[in-house]
Amino acid sequence: MPARTDRTADPDLRAALLLARRGQAYFSRKLNELANDELDAPSLVPGWTRRHVVAHVGLNARALTRLTEWAATGVETPMYASREERDAEIAYGATLPARALRSLSAHAAVHLDVEWRDLPPDAWQAPVRTALGRTVPASETVWMRTREVWVHAVDLANGASYRQFPPELVDALLADVARMWRARPGPAPVLEPTDRDGAAAGAGADGGAAAGAVHVRGRAADLARWATGRGGAHLLTTPDGTPVPDPPRWL
């Protein structure tokens, strides 16, 4: 009989799963606050309505479920057949009746959570491949989902805010952004949270900035908002008082 609780006993993984589940609850709450006709309004994602965001988050759960099943069975099941298929699925999902769209979001999230719950402890280290082509352990699906549900809750444009995020999530987002930026050519911005101890709380000041790198200061939550492309530059400053630029691409 499948386990009724997570099979893994790893404390770090259990904490990560809890943060992902809290994010799912947060996204679901902000979605449930919206009336059906409000789903047609624009989201914070350029070119997307709230419907597109809901469809994307639901389909993302299905895609990560495929990776989790890959880890469990050893049978390769990619997230998507192609980028074109992914985009077409989101476009179609956004046309679903509101009830069906809400059902997609809820049921896909439950399915993913069940697959996580029942995954054998050793399968969490099984290699799987992300939609970007990176080979990662299956445990990475938890972080992939965590950032998806929390950030897209804000994209629903229904009052969700980075300032409502748990501190450990904000710091993890800053670290994730900095890692992505450093993997690309050119100087990456240095993020300097004014409400954290230390230089950057894991946000990128790890041994000196590259020449020409801009330093951006502000509350950690506001930095995370800006760095992930959700605006908020007016809440931040630079040491020399020059305007805060647009951030580099995150994902």
| pLDDT value of position 186 | 85
Residue 19's identity, in one-letter code, is L
pTM: 0.94
Could you give phi then psi for residue 215, rounded to 5 degrees? -100, 130
For residue 187, the SS3 value is coil
Over its length of 251 residues, how does the chain's per-residue pLDDT go in tens digits? Answer: 455 799 999 999 999 999 999 999 999 999 999 999 999 999 999 999 999 999 999 999 999 999 999 999 999 999 999 999 999 999 999 999 999 999 999 999 999 999 999 999 999 999 999 998 999 999 999 999 999 999 999 999 999 999 999 999 999 999 999 999 998 888 899 999 999 875 444 345 444 456 678 999 999 999 999 999 999 999 999 999 999 999 999 99
Q: Give the DSSP H/E element, type plus range, for residue 217.
A: strand 215-218
Q: 149: buried, middle or exposed (CB in 10 Å: 19+, 13-18, 0-12)?
A: buried
Instruction: Write out the two tokens for 78.
Output: 């990619």
Could you tell me the CA-to-CA distances from 96 to 33, 105, 177, 235, 243 in Å, in that order?
19, 12, 33, 37, 42
Query: Containing H/E element for 218?
Result: strand 215-218
Tokens 């980075």 belong to residue: 162
Q: Extract the runs of DSSP E, i.e. beta strands, from 46-199.
A: 127-129, 135-137, 190-193
